[in-house]
């Protein structure tokens, strides 16, 4: 079904958080203020790599209006953070490893005073060699950035005998692909309000994708019990993976506890660029071979990923990339190796697609090259190698079987744009410098955190004493529409009316551990949780209603209350009045995982195919994407507006990844510091996108709707590269695609030169 408001009928709903968003009344956590609050600011290293010889804060502390200046000496607990490996210093003590490293923080009466105080903090540095190239960092004689070396993580996957298999290949493609340091560019920069409470507790109002993880990390840093910290973490002005890790929270928390006053921090865009995470730049070298009929026989891959100064989720992202470099193809002989390397660059971390975007760009490029060599239509080439129902996962692991890969392949094969592709490049005689081409690509993408990683799920339903049906989950709303999807599921699965509901998320004092709102997992987990809760919660409601209504049995929940035979018998409010305690049902479970014992290996996958039409302007070298068609197989559509929005939005982000976005660094400092030079797509860069949702799942499938937060962003780049090749015959190996690469020297000046010579 092509998704649209019209095709969705009554399932297209107004978002519950919409009214506050369109009227500007929604209070984001960076909009909050408190009586007597101070402004916090962080001093960041302006050396990419140096020893700290001395640090003098006295002058700053003496400024009138400054309430606290804190450094590493003021961290009561662990001076480190990191979801997977907590080794990024809250405050650097004796060494800085990138220009985002924090050295001190100030709380003052105003932003101006805080900024002035920061300028008075003196740091003596002894400069160390700055390592910006991961491959330099891998050399044996390189300076070590961490005691354990510069290699954060190494991956390997071997199958069959690639060396022999290559010898038997009719065609071999060898290429090295480069992907950019993409920035999340959430419109709301990091920040929040930190309030030391009278009872000794601390309340943190600051965005994250997993409130309970922030609480755990803060507990370690502050040496405070987790129960003494309340993290309120939604609503959020965009995240895309970028706010999952701690950012301003340690500084706000420490300053609030030190001063005993509320402290607000809100990063400037420049500081957000400097200290915030980016997508891992990867260099992916591939050698891939096929037989004369285009059947893939051997695949050799080497991934080098730049994690910057610290780990955060560099290991996990590399695991993901390693699992996705073979795409949805069955290849008998493979040798894959990955390296995640520390450098003095900005820290790379979690970002929508999670290493898939880089891997899929590379493997799809290989298929196109081999198809050309073998003289086979590139879409046909994919079909010959595509996984079928029953095939094991990319690492040989058992996975949830669907027909997704074939479904998206077939869906795309049937569209007019793919028929147009057969016509070859398009030229318009009136505009000879513009050439068009059509290209396509396919992807499978894992969801959930993968084998061996705690991936809890669960939630709570409750009939509260005021008659509201409460749904309480530990998830976060950063724009994706999670609250709207939850509301829609409650209405469709239980028959409630929107007005019956109170959805509570993003507050560690009240939510159960539902796991993180990451990895395209929350939609699946909400759906499964509500399914698990359904028998018990509806039975408990019916039981209570029977007793409250004087013995009417067989009542079922519906809009406004409990119903029987098409009639409302008892409202939820009336039912609640008869209760002494709320009716509470809770479920605790785990994201489904493959039994295959390989850390990070996935069990649930979604599938996507994309066709695009591009215009390449040969004079400017600019590429315009004029048409896009996405076919997505991710199970039933839980929320049509949300689904469409995720694919369109993911695609927008991928347009930037492909054409314009790269947070450039020079000698460890960001050169692109703000949105004047870091160019994300505007409305003028986006064309209409058609999204076909393939909802069919095998009959026995019990996993329901899959999340679509990432799948829309992972395979646009190779489709564009393919279209560019059709248009101008050039193979793209490096993203974003530089205009210079596509510019052609006009023949007229050439002629003029010749004439002059003559």
Partner 1 sequence: MLDKYAANPGDRDNLPESARDAEENRCALGGAEAMQGMPNNPDCADASLPAEPGETLITLSCRINGQPVTAEVPPSRRLLTVLREEFGLTGTKRSCELGRCGACMVLIDGRPVNSCLTMAYQCEGAGITTIEGLSGGGLHPVQQAFLEEGGFQCGYCTPGMVISVVALLSENPKPAPEEVEEALSGNLCRCTGYGGIMRAVNKAIEKGVG
Residues 660-719 that bind partner 1 (CB under 8 A): 669, 673-676, 680-684, 686, 688-689
SS3 for 109?
coil
**Phi, psi (5° rounding) for residue 127?**
-70, 140
String marking each residue 486-525 x if it binds partner 1 according to CB under 8 A: ----------------------------------------
When the beta carbons of 123 and 461 are compared against partner 1, the nearer one is 123
Q: How far is the CB of 37 from partner 1 (least distance, A)?
A: 11
* From 230, 258, 274, 324, residue interacting with partner 1 (rule: CB under 8 A): 274
* From 343, 524, 641, 722, residue interacting with partner 1 (rule: CB under 8 A): 641
User: Which residues in 23-52 contact partner 1 (CB under 8 A)?
Assistant: 23-28, 30-31, 33, 41-44, 46
Considering only 265-273, 555-563, 577-585, 588-596, which stretch makes contact with partner 1 by CB under 8 A? Answer: 265-273
Considering only 234-242, 305-313, 361-369, 460-468, which stretch makes contact with partner 1 by CB under 8 A? Answer: 234-242
- Determine contact, residues 434/617, Cβ cutoff 8 Å: yes
Cα–Cα distance for residue pair 174/744, rounded to 1 Å: 26
Q: How far is the CB of 320 from partner 1 (least distance, A)?
A: 22
Cα–Cα distance for residue pair 359/345, rounded to 1 Å: 21
When the beta carbons of 150 and 272 are compared against partner 1, the nearer one is 272
Is residue 17 within the footprint of partner 1 (CB under 8 A)? Answer: yes
* From 650, 704, 705, 718, residue interacting with partner 1 (rule: CB under 8 A): 650
Cα–Cα distance for residue pair 367/610, rounded to 1 Å: 15
Is residue 180 within the footprint of partner 1 (CB under 8 A)? Answer: no
Nearest to 707 by CA among 528, 533, 491, 504: 528
SS3 for 727?
helix
When the beta carbons of 199 and 682 are compared against partner 1, the nearer one is 682
For residue 690, give the H/E element and its range. strand 689-694
When the beta carbons of 43 and 632 are compared against partner 1, the nearer one is 43
Give the total residue count for the chain.
758
Q: How far is the CB of 758 from partner 1 (least distance, A)?
A: 44
Count other C-beta atoms under 10 Å from residue 428's C-beta. Answer: 11
Q: How far is the CB of 103 from partner 1 (least distance, A)?
A: 8
Cα–Cα distance for residue pair 645/641, rounded to 1 Å: 6
* From 16, 77, 149, 238, residue interacting with partner 1 (rule: CB under 8 A): 238
Is residue 185 within the footprint of partner 1 (CB under 8 A)? Answer: yes
How many binding residues for partner 1 (CB under 8 A)? 88
Is residue 619 within the footprint of partner 1 (CB under 8 A)? Answer: no
Is residue 644 within the footprint of partner 1 (CB under 8 A)? Answer: yes
Is residue 307 within the footprint of partner 1 (CB under 8 A)? Answer: no
Pairing state of beta strands 229-232 and 202-206?
A: parallel
Partners of 285 in beta bridges: 176, 302
- DSSP readout, 508-522? TTT------S-TT-H
- Determine contact, residues 691/716, Cβ cutoff 8 Å: no
Collect all residues with Cβ–Cβ distance below 8 Å to 684 and sequence separation of at least 6: none
When the beta carbons of 123 and 444 are compared against partner 1, the nearer one is 123
Q: How far is the CB of 710 from partner 1 (least distance, A)?
A: 14
Considering only 155-163, 409-417, 496-504, 650-658, which stretch makes contact with partner 1 by CB under 8 A? Answer: 650-658
What b-and-e string marks burial along 585-621, b requiring 16 or more CB atoms within 10 Å of the CB? bbbeeebbbbebebebbbbbbbbbbbbbbbbbbbeeb
* From 179, 307, 480, 658, residue interacting with partner 1 (rule: CB under 8 A): 480
User: Which residues in 392-431 contact partner 1 (CB under 8 A)?
Assistant: none
Tokens standing for 742?
């596509």
Q: How far is the CB of 244 from partner 1 (least distance, A)?
A: 15
Q: How far is the CB of 77 from partner 1 (least distance, A)?
A: 25
Is residue 235 within the footprint of partner 1 (CB under 8 A)? Answer: yes
Q: How far is the CB of 349 from partner 1 (least distance, A)?
A: 17
Residue with tokens 């539902």: 514
Considering only 186-194, 365-373, 439-447, 552-560, which stretch makes contact with partner 1 by CB under 8 A? Answer: 186-194
Pairing state of beta strands 426-428 and 431-447?
A: antiparallel
Count other C-beta atoms under 10 Å from residue 154's C-beta. Answer: 13
Q: How far is the CB of 146 from partner 1 (least distance, A)?
A: 24
User: Which residues in 62-121 contact partner 1 (CB under 8 A)?
Assistant: 99, 103, 110-113, 115-116, 118-121
Residue with tokens 């490096």: 734
632: DSSP letter = E
* From 250, 479, 557, 592, residue interacting with partner 1 (rule: CB under 8 A): 479
User: Which residues in 523-552 contact partner 1 (CB under 8 A)?
Assistant: none
What b-and-e string marks burial along 654-684, b requiring 16 or more CB atoms within 10 Å of the CB? bbbbbbbbbbebeebbbebbeeeebbbbeee
- Determine contact, residues 367/378, Cβ cutoff 8 Å: yes
């Amino acid at each position: 079904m092509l998704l649209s408001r019209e095709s969705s009928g009554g399932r297209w709903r107004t978002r519950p958080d919409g009214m506050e968003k369109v009227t500007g009344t929604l209070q984001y956590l960076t909009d909050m203020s408190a009586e007597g609050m101070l402004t916090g600011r962080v001093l960041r290293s302006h050396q990419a790599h140096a020893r700290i010889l001395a640090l003098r804060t006295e002058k700053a502390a003496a400024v009138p209006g400054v309430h606290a200046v804190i450094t590493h000496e003021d961290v009561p607990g662990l001076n480190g953070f990191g979801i997977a490996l907590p080794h990024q210093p809250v405050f650097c003590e004796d060494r800085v490893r990138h220009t985002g490293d924090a050295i001190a923080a100030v709380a003052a009466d105003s932003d101006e005073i805080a900024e002035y105080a920061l300028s008075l903090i003196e740091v003596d540095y002894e400069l160390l060699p700055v390592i910006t190239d991961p491959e330099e960092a891998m050399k044996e004689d390189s300076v070590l950035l961490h005691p354990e070396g510069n290699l954060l993580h190494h991956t390997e996957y071997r199958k069959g005998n690639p060396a022999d298999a290559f010898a038997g290949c009719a065609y071999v493609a060898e290429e090295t692909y480069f992907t950019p340091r993409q920035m999340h560019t959430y419109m709301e920069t990091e920040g929040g309000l930190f309030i030391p409470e009278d009872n000794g507790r601390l309340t943190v109002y600051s965005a994250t994708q997993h409130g309970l993880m922030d609480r755990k990390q803060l507990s370690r840093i502050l040496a405070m019990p987790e129960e003494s910290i309340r993290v309120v973490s939604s609503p959020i002005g965009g995240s895309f993976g970028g706010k999952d890790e701690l950012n301003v929270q340690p500084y706000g928390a420490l300053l609030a506890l030190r001063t005993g006053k509320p402290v607000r921090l809100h990063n400037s865009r420049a500081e957000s660029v400097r200290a915030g995470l980016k997508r891992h730049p990867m260099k992916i070298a591939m050698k891939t071979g096929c037989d004369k009929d285009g059947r893939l026989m051997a695949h050799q891959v080497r991934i080098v990923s730049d994690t910057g100064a610290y780990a955060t989720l560099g290991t996990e992202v590399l695991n993901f990339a390693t699992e996705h470099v073979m795409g949805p193809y069955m290849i008998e002989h493979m040798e894959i190796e990955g390296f995640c390397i520390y450098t003095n660059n900005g820290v790379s971390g979690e970002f929508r697609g999670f290493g898939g975007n880089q891997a899929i760009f590379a493997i799809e490029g290989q298929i196109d090259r081999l198809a050309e060599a073998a003289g086979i239509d590139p879409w046909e080439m994919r079909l010959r190698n595509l996984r079928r129902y029953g095939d094991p996962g990319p690492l040989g692991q058992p996975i949830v079987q669907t027909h997704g890969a074939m479904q998206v392949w077939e869906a795309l094969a049937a569209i007019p744009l793919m028929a147009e592709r057969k016509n070859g490049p398009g030229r318009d005689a009136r505009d000879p410098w513009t050439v068009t081409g059509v290209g396509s690509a396919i992807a499978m993408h894992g969801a959930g955190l993968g084998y061996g990683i705690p991936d809890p799920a669960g939630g709570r339903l409750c009939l509260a004493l005021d008659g509201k049906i409460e749904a309480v989950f530990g998830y976060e709303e950063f724009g994706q529409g999670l609250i709207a999807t939850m509301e829609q599921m409650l209405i469709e699965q239980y028959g409630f009316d929107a007005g019956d509901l109170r959805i509570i998320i993003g507050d560690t004092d009240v939510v159960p551990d539902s796991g993180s709102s990451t990895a395209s997992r929350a939609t699946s987990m909400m759906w499964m949780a509500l399914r698990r809760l359904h028998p018990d919660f509806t039975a408990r409601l019916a039981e209570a209603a029977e007793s409250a209504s004087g013995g009417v049995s067989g009542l079922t929940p519906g809009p406004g209350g409990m119903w029987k035979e098409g009639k409302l018998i008892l409202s939820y409010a009336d039912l609640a009045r008869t209760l002494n305690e709320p009716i509470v049902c809770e479920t605790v479970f785990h994201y489904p995982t493959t039994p295959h014992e390989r850390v990070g290996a996935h069990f649930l996958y979604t599938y996507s195919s994309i066709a695009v039409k591009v215009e390449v302007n040969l004079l400017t070298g600019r590429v315009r994407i004029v048409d896009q068609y996405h076919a997505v197989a991710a199970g039933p559509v839980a929320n049509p507006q949300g689904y469409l929005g995720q694919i369109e939005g993911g695609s927008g982000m991928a347009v930037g990844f492909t054409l314009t976005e790269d947070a450039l660094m020079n000698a460890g400092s960001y050169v692109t510091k703000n949105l004047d030079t870091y160019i994300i797509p505007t409305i003028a860069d986006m064309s209409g996108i058609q999204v076909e949702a393939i909802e069919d799942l095998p009959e026995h499938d019990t996993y329901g709707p899959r999340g679509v937060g990432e799948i829309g962003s992972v395979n646009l780049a190779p489709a564009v590269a393919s279209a560019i090749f059709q248009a101008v015959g050039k193979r793209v190996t490096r993203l974003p695609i530089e205009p210079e690469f596509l510019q052609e020297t006009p023949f007229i000046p050439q002629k003029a030169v010749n004439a002059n010579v003559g």
